[in-house]
Structure 1
Amino acid sequence: MTDPRGELPRLIGDCVHCGFCLPTCPTYVLWGEEMDSPRGRIHLMDQLETGTPMSPPMAEHFDRCLGCMACVTACPSGVQYDRMIELTRARVEREHPRSLPERALREMIFRLFPYPGRLRALRGPLRAYQRTGLDRLVRRSGLLERLSPSLAAMERLAPPLSRAPRLPERVGARGGRRATVGMLTGCVQGEFFPGVNAATARVLALEGCDVVIPRGQGCCGALSLHSGREEEARAFARRTIVTFETVDVIVVNAAGCGSAMKEYRRLLADEPEWAGRADALSAKTRDLTEFLVELGPRARRHPLPVTVAYHDACHLSHAQGVRAQPRALLGAIPELTVREVADPDICCGSAGTYNLLQPEAAAELGDRKAAGVRATGAELLVAANPGCSMQIATALERQGTRLPVAHTAEVLDASLRGTGTAALVGRRPRSPA
């Protein structure tokens, strides 16, 4: 995501410094520092463009940005801050020399999380670690926190693991085929939340879809794209295009992945061999809830007598503009009540790798979001992104609350199959600290 067309100077000029972005920016809300707001970061970008060298404090202000895009939604002038921060992050990665520990941490993250096979290999040891009670011992000792707050955050965020169901390459439509769709299984979603993928496939099949699940699929490149690792993101994007090129619609159940795939048209715009193919893939990518609303309901909804708090994932609401669809689907379930979380536009602090690279700020934001969820009095939290689910569940536990968390697909699955609420609200809790 270099800037061969000189986009950044033009985009910087769109900002009129009105300040409408300030109350929506998580880091400005936390600290009240102008340079930790979109307006302040745009000022720093302008300094870079006019010849000021990249300094460590400047890079830190860019690193502190969550990339949540709440400012893009709030801006009355249409400032493309999302594009600006991506271009600037790529420049930070090229020009800013990081310390050895920081480089090692980033390499570990980006050599692990975008690779489903490596995450799969981690599942066995992690399950044993959780089931033997070693996780509780490590947390109580505080040793990992003293060694590395980032590693401690990674350990705390790991969800409880059970046996992972493996999906077939094709799930047939029930009751007559209405559509054929490809399904992205994701990296963290596929290995740490496999039940979400199984529920997604069942819901699509019950609504009359043949579901194609390519076995050779890999990472979509979301983590790399949103962290300034441009060449890495392009490589993942090309592979994803090849994998899903033959299907008419691609259904995605992780907000960050769907957002990244809809950006392929921009990511590969300067590559003649791939630009058209990238544009075609972006055009046929749909979030699960977006697609189901477009398709329309057919399967019977059984009652679910439960009160849920719905959390807006930033890369679903701000990046993709998908807000009404999940609420409409949940609201159509008999006896289910949806309650809104206060300050829905403020990020929970997950933001891809943010809660690993900026654990202190992420924890503050997680605590704010958890307090908002608790205030709803809901029996179940519903979220549409694995990172959000882990982040908010961890913050709730930190506050002494063990509220079960489910994906929208799992709630729909329970209603369509008539399995009731027990599997949703009676989930195995995480180990207490």
Structure 2
Amino acid sequence: MQTRLAPEFAGTPDGALADAILRRCVHCGFCTATCPTYQVLGDELDGPRGRIYLIKQMLEGAPVTRATQQHLDRCLTCRNCETTCPSGVAYGHLLDIGRKVAEQRVPRPWPERALRWLLREGLTSPLFAPALRVGQWLRPWLPAPLRAKVPARQQPGAWPRTAHTRRVLLLAGCVQPAMAPNINAATARVLDAAGMQAIVAPKAGCCGALRFHLNDQLGALAEMRANIDAWWPHIEPTDGSPPVQAIVINASGCGVTVKDYAHQLRHDPAYAAKAERVSALARDVSELLPELLPAWQQRLGTQGLPAGVPRQLAYHPPCTLQHGMRLRGGVEQALRTLGFEVQLPAESHLCCGSAGTYSVLQPQLADTLRARKLQHLHAAGTPQAIVSANIGCITHLQAGTALPVRHWVEVVDQALQATAPPA
């Protein structure tokens, strides 16, 4: 694709990156076949190829309209198109640039600005957890649409206290400790069962994804730097203790962001090298499965899965796992090795509609995609539970089904806890 960047973008870091990405696109249209919003809306401008044209026009100096902004807003950032693209177009990074330009050029109506501010500031605030507890207490009396957004209160269970020589950092996240605290505790327990200690750095917070995708990119970069500062004493200890072996992340939406720190901070002289180190250490918990499985199998022994553990599972691989991080097949294979019966639904490559705050900002599209996803999940054998690997997907799917929706780590933890020796 030939480009002629407007003078204001020519020679800038964003302009140079966008130009390189645009030139890889060959207009083939393979991306439209796997784009969820194009499949639902049938509009070329609501598919990757159409959005690429819109971004190209913006960067070449064409007027940016409210319609342009809305087409970019409706993208889920699922990056399925990147998996499909034969030319290797880095659509996600191009979309970040396009959204930033549109945000600067097109004033949003005040209700949109207010909602985005509330999501940006509220979900990352220390007040989110107490506010959620109030909502959970009031949950039985809330209107159905609001009640669906408030998960039932969950008991996390005990955090393991055994110290191990093999240590990893665990990103707690911003909303997950309040919405689903058992995911982090279960992750710590399954790591402990394999002789690995999970450490949470108290000053580490939101990974930055939430602000970044709400176009507060400066705020997101500040959160990334704060996390690097919180983790660095464990990565380069000065007290003689051994460095951590990895930064483990159990929310794939956070994982794909932390792995991108090196890209996002590449022009920051104070943080570029540290960000590269952090991205290299970042691991989705599923990437540790080759190290974890032998210990888990030994714990379970030859008896197989204990009674009461859901055996038949339908697995929803989040987009951030399979398209963002290109991690496919590992979770399903590991669960089957442990004795679970795991089914992938039809259209397993398509987004469930959660996409971070997308389900709040684009509720109609999100609900349509969720209904489509759940129809396939329910038809994947006779599942006793749905499992996934991202808090956003889990919460979004649970709001539309009576089947329990859990992180896959939780069902492994349940099996291991049932076979644990008495304390």
CA distance 1:179–1:5, change in 2 (3 Å): farther
Alpha-carbon distance between aligned partners in 2 of 1:5 and 1:60, rounded to the nearest angstrom: 22
Alpha-carbon distance between aligned partners in 1 of 2:21 and 2:266, rounded to the nearest angstrom: 18
Alpha-carbon distance between aligned partners in 1 of 2:353 and 2:182, rounded to the nearest angstrom: 24
Is the CA contact (8 Å cut-off) linking 2:154 and 2:180 kept in structure 1? no
After the TM superposition, which residues 300-319 of structure 1 pair with which residues of structure 2 at under 5 Å, given as runs?
A: 300-302=298-300, 303-304=304-305, 306-319=311-324
**Which of 332, 337, 359 is residue 332 of structure 1 equivalent to?**
337
Shift in Å, 1:127? 1.9
Is the CA contact (8 Å cut-off) linking 1:171 and 1:201 kept in structure 2? no
**Which of 182, 189, 212 is residue 169 of structure 2 equivalent to?**
182
Instruction: Give the 4+ runs in structure 1 shifted more than 6 A.
Output: none
Q: Hey, what does 1:111 align to over in structure 2? A: 121
AA aligned opposite 1:352: G
Q: Hey, what does 2:283 align to over in structure 1? A: 286
CA distance 1:160–1:258, change in 2 (3 Å): same
Alpha-carbon distance between aligned partners in 1 of 2:375 and 2:387, rounded to the nearest angstrom: 15
Q: Hey, what does 1:158 align to over in structure 2? A: 150
**Which of 382, 385, 402 is residue 380 of structure 1 equivalent to?**
385
Alpha-carbon distance between aligned partners in 2 of 1:343 and 1:4, rounded to the nearest angstrom: 34
Is the CA contact (8 Å cut-off) linking 1:67 and 1:82 kept in structure 2? yes
CA distance 1:199–1:163, change in 2 (3 Å): closer
Shift in Å, 1:298? 1.6
Q: Hey, what does 1:20 align to over in structure 2? A: 30
Alpha-carbon distance between aligned partners in 1 of 2:225 and 2:291, rounded to the nearest angstrom: 27
Is the CA contact (8 Å cut-off) linking 1:241 and 1:278 kept in structure 2? yes
Alpha-carbon distance between aligned partners in 1 of 2:316 and 2:343, rounded to the nearest angstrom: 10
AA aligned opposite 2:152: P
Shift in Å, 1:178? 5.9
1:49-86 CA-partner distances (Å, limit 9, x unpaired): 21111100011000000000000001011111011111
1:198-246 CA-partner distances (Å, limit 9, x unpaired): 1000000111012212222211111122333210110110011111122
Aligned sequence identity (%): 37
Describe the SS at the equivalent of 2:332: helix
**Which of 168, 175, 199 is residue 212 of structure 1 equivalent to?**
199
Shift in Å, 1:162? 3.6
AA aligned opposite 1:253: N
Tell me if 1:223 matches 2:231.
no
Is the CA contact (8 Å cut-off) linking 1:114 and 1:221 kept in structure 2? no
Structure 1: gaps (5+ residues): 140-151, 397-401, 421-433
CA distance 1:347–1:4, change in 2 (3 Å): closer
Tell me if 1:134 matches 2:137.
no
**Which of 213, 228, 248 is residue 241 of structure 1 equivalent to?**
228
Alpha-carbon distance between aligned partners in 2 of 1:356 and 1:407, rounded to the nearest angstrom: 22
Tell me if 1:390 matches 2:395.
yes
The size of the alignment, in residue pairs, is: 390
Is the CA contact (8 Å cut-off) linking 2:136 and 2:151 kept in structure 1? no
Tell me if 1:123 matches 2:132.
yes
Q: Hey, what does 2:3 align to over in structure 1? A: none
AA aligned opposite 2:398: A
Q: Which has the higher contact order (CA 8 A, sep 6+)?
A: 1
Structure 2: gaps (5+ residues): 1-11, 235-243
Is the CA contact (8 Å cut-off) linking 1:172 and 1:210 kept in structure 2? yes
Shift in Å, 1:129? 0.6
Describe the SS at the equivalent of 1:21: helix
CA distance 1:283–1:179, change in 2 (3 Å): same
AA aligned opposite 1:391: H
Is the CA contact (8 Å cut-off) linking 1:265 and 1:279 kept in structure 2? yes
Q: Hey, what does 1:59 align to over in structure 2? A: 69
AA aligned opposite 2:274: R
1:373-430 CA-partner distances (Å, limit 9, x unpaired): 111121110011111011112222xxxxx1011111111112222369xxxxxxxxxx
**Which of 84, 89, 103 is residue 93 of structure 1 equivalent to?**
103
CA distance 1:393–1:368, change in 2 (3 Å): same
Q: Hey, what does 1:423 align to over in structure 2? A: none
State the TM-score, normalized to the length of structure 1.
0.86
State the TM-score, normalized to the length of structure 2.
0.88
